[in-house]
Amino acid sequence: MPQRNPARMNGLRVMITGAGGGIGTPLARMLAQAGAHVTGIDRSDCPACHASIVTDLSDDAALAKLAQRLQDDCPDILVNVAGVMRFGLHESQPIDALALCYRVNLLVPAVLARSVAAPMRQRGSGQIVNVGSVLGSIPYPWFAAYSSSKAGLAALSQGLRRELQGSGVTVTHINPRAARTPFNNGEVNRFLALTGMKADEPEWVARRIAIAIIERRETVNIGAMEQVFAALNAIAPRLVDNGLAGQIRKVRAEFN
């Protein structure tokens, strides 16, 4: 992994939500190896981190307490990795499951970014990192809530970047493809197999995220074909509709 200038990385305080997960754990380890002091934020202790904040991001009081903590003791880098997957026909999704998906994937990053934005801007340095998904730029059927929550996260990142332009604060947004983690249940794995969608190894994804953080990149889209389809979807979505038609027929036969 590229080495960051010691004056820019060594000793920097990084806080990572979802640091106990399949992507968060290797990411925390890599940033620690690069010289950062890493605090994990998750529902249990994060062994790869120097310290852990054990909390429940689905709880209003816990989120408010965490937000205040980040505002009062602002890290050098905030990394929003924690996420919730929803798969299946949108009409079948329970309302509370939809609320949790939008909360963890979009509201939590927005609240935590709000907490650190002013302190970072006032001191003239910092980095806010949001880990989205390629499904945010290429919304897929059976992932309507997840896709739209990640599309919102991309818009949040872009809006923050423009607000903080010239302040010394970097906003980094990263769109991975699917990864082989417990985040995917059996149905999601079946969907990936039916559609031929690539699932990357967690270590490889974490390394790409770590490099983006170290290099202070702004936007990173993982996957050459995914980048092409994302651009097409933005300017000619009907072409993507036609391109996905065969995959959709296979999935509809399996899951409808």
Q: What is the mean pLDDT of residues 61-65?
A: 98
Strands (E), the chain: 13-17, 37-42, 51-54, 77-80, 126-131, 169-175, 178-179, 199-200, 219-221
* For the chain, percent of residues with pLDDT exceeding 90: 70
pLDDT of residue 211: 95
Res. 8 pLDDT band, cuts 50 70 90: low
Is it the case that residue 3 has pLDDT exceeding 60?
no
Q: What is the mean pLDDT of residues 204-219?
A: 95
Nearest alpha carbon to residue 194 among 143, 139, 245, 248? 248
Phi, psi of 147, deg, nearest 5: -60, -45
d(CA 130, CA 219): 10
Contact partners, residue 157, CB within 8 Å, separation at least 6: 128, 130, 132, 171, 172, 173, 219
* DSSP-derived 3-state class of residue 147: helix
Count other C-beta atoms under 10 Å from residue 88's C-beta: 16
Q: Do 180 and 193 contact (CB within 8 A), yes or no?
A: no
Is it the case that residue 175 has pLDDT exceeding 60?
yes
pTM of the model: 0.91
pLDDT of residue 116: 98
pLDDT in tens, 14-55: 999 999 999 999 999 999 999 999 999 999 999 999 999 999
d(CA 81, CA 104): 10
Res. 200 pLDDT band, cuts 50 70 90: confident
pLDDT of residue 4: 43
* DSSP-derived 3-state class of residue 1: coil
Contact partners, residue 182, CB within 8 Å, separation at least 6: 22
State the average pLDDT for the chain.
91
d(CA 230, CA 31): 29
d(CA 168, CA 180): 35
DSSP for 87-113, written as a single string: -S-GGG--HHHHHHHHIIIIIHHHHHH
Contact partners, residue 165, CB within 8 Å, separation at least 6: none
pLDDT in tens, 73-87: 999 999 999 999 998
pLDDT in tens, 131-140: 999 999 989 8
188 or 163, greater pLDDT: 163
Is it the case that residue 6 has pLDDT exceeding 70?
no
**Lowest-confidence region among 9-23, 54-68, 80-94, 212-226:** 212-226
